[in-house]
Amino acid sequence: MKYLVSLSAVCLLLGMSVQAAGPDTATQELIEQLRLDEAERPVRESPGWKRPERIVVMIPGSLNDMRAELLASIEMVSDGIE
């Protein structure tokens, strides 16, 4: 579960810099390496799915200067989840 949450956070952070032209080369390579495929329907529509109560995000020290902006972006899309 922690891996899924971490991966989700990484995807959110990567998605913030993606432009309309599509993912850059590094992002595309990561998608292929992790074999990520877009599902036909949202995961929340899958049987047994439950809305998370808490999302844990670790921001690397190298991004400390962007910390406030990153946290604000994550809070904007987290729909009130702690």
Query: What are the domain boundaries of the chain?
Result: 2-77
Residue 30, sorted as left (phi over 0), alpha (psi -120 to 50) or beta, turns out to be alpha
DSSP three-state, residue 19:
strand
**Average of per-residue pLDDT across 32-39:** 92
pTM for the predicted model, two decimal places: 0.43
pLDDT tens figures, 38-57: 889 999 999 999 998 998 98
**For the residues of 27-47, what is the DSSP string, one character each?**
HHHHHHHTT----SS-GGGST
